[in-house]
């Protein structure tokens, strides 16, 4: 059962994107709040730039986390 829990935790970390992914999720949340506060027409272009940046950061985080798993496999018991 511990192996399954460890695998699920690892896959969740990869899906989130690790520390870089958390930053990207924060940027995405901030842009969503900007829409609520100022409206879509006011923040359309900055929103597009923020969303593009956050998706790029998230993608890099996912790539980095998936490579970390491949380079440092867990020890076999």
Residue boundaries of the structural domains of the chain: 2-71
Confidence at 72, pLDDT banded by 50, 70, 90:
low
Amino acid 23: pLDDT: 92
pLDDT band at 71 (very low <50, low <70, confident <90, very high): low
Q: What is the 3-state secondary structure (H, E, C) of 20-51?
A: HHHHHHHHHHHHHHHHHHHCCCCCHHHHHHHH
For residue range 6-56, list pLDDT tens digits in order: 888 888 888 888 889 899 999 989 988 988 999 888 888 988 898 899 999
């Amino acid at each position: 059962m511990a192996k399954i829990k460890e695998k699920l935790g690892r896959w969740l970390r990869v899906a989130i994107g690790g520390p870089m992914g958390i930053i990207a999720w924060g940027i995405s949340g901030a842009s969503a709040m900007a829409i609520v506060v100022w409206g879509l027409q006011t923040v359309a272009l900055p929103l597009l730039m923020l969303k593009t940046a956050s998706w790029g950061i998230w993608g890099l985080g996912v790539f980095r986390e998936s490579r970390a798993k491949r380079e440092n496999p867990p020890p076999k018991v």
